[in-house]
Amino acid sequence: MKDFKVKFRGVRGSFPVADKKFLQYGGNTSCVEINAGGHVIILDAGTGIVKVGDELMEKYISSALEVKDRTPVCASVLLSHIHQDHILGLTFFKPMHLKSSKISIFGDGNDSDILKDNLTNLVFGKTFPLDLNDIQCELDIHNLDEDYVILFKPDCNAQLVKKDELKPQENDVIVSFYKSYVHPQNGVIIYKITYQGKSVVYATDKESYFGGDKKFVQFSKNCDLLIHDAQYTSEDYLNSHSPKQGFGHSTYDMAIEAMRQTGAKNLVFFHYDPSYDDSKLDKIKELYTSQNKNVYMAYEGLELNIE
Ligand SMILES: [Zn+2]
Ligand SMILES: [Zn+2]
């Protein structure tokens, strides 16, 4: 059995922060690296993806002395949505600028709202020295359609397969997803990565409903790890001077409730408000992780084995 590992690379929401009061949890925006069955699956391309790229480059360079003998970088980037904090690091993901790399990007899109066009407008061209067409690697960009899943066979390529035609084999990694409308203005994709009977759910930029989100509960039922938005304390969320209701983010209590309703075995709080420094997050940790078993604070570098 190959590894199923989750590594947190950027845990911050909204915008990156660089200050000594933020070093413990980290200031990079959303990015989680998953290694499952030998595949590199990167959830979101916030500034945390830069370090993932640097490490993949090191691995590539050390794979052989001669360039022609090196093992190409092969990775898939799954975007929850295209808010800045989730795409800010994409153009600085170095393997994308190597001719030999094979990179696939998946995210929300349809015939009239094409992911490739959105990325062209948002991160390439006028906001970066290169156009999308100048990118060196073998790059494919896919709109996600809920009738499909992303299938990773034990070779490099990720492919979209119709749900009703899926015949999973033991060593396949399957990514299922759906679009949730809990995040303004265009919603967010919730992902579930399944490998050898274990599953990880990535639910960032997700606000909960009163009484719980029934579709989400069904989708995430009994997952092994739930990575859940936890941008605000309940106090900040409900603050009468500056309420955060409707901003599309959850509280720590909502994330705990999602864990309870889904039956998730482990929960990691994710996507911290950029104003929450280490001391505030330490207090939150004290409050929530001492009272609840299998609940963890995300921080840059946190690595979990799914077993
Ligand atoms: Zn965000
Ligand atoms: Zn967002």
Counting ligands in written order, the one closest to the CA of 273 is 1
Exposure pattern of 141-172 as b/e (b: 16+ CB <10 Å)? bbbbeeebbbbbeeebebebbeeeeeeeeeeb
Task: Report the 10 Å Cβ neighbour count for 139.
Answer: 16
Q: Are 198 and 4 in contact (CB under 8 A)?
A: yes
DSSP H/E element including 218: helix 214-220
- Report the separation in Å between the CA atom of 70 and the middle of ligand 1, taken as the mean of its atom positions: 35
Q: Are 203 and 225 in contact (CB under 8 A)?
A: no
- Report the separation in Å between the CA atom of 80 and the middle of ligand 1, taken as the mean of its atom positions: 9
Rounded to an integer, the average pLDDT of 260-269 is 98
Please name the residue that has the structure tokens 């299938």.
Answer: 151
- Report the separation in Å between the CA atom of 28 and the middle of ligand 1, taken as the mean of its atom positions: 11
Cα-Cα-Cα-Cα dihedral of 114, 120, 121, 122, to 10°? Answer: 100
Question: What pTM was computed for the model?
Answer: 0.97
Domains of the chain: 4-305 (3.60.15.10)
Taking alpha carbons only, the member of 207, 216, 270 closest to residue 244 is 207
- Report the separation in Å between the CA atom of 83 and the middle of ligand 1, taken as the mean of its atom positions: 6
- Per-residue pLDDT of 149-197, as tens digits, reads 999 998 767 999 999 999 988 899 999 999 999 999 999 999 999 999 9
- Per-residue pLDDT of 35-48, as tens digits, reads 999 999 999 999 99
271 token code pair: 């996507």
CA-based R_g, the chain, Å:
19
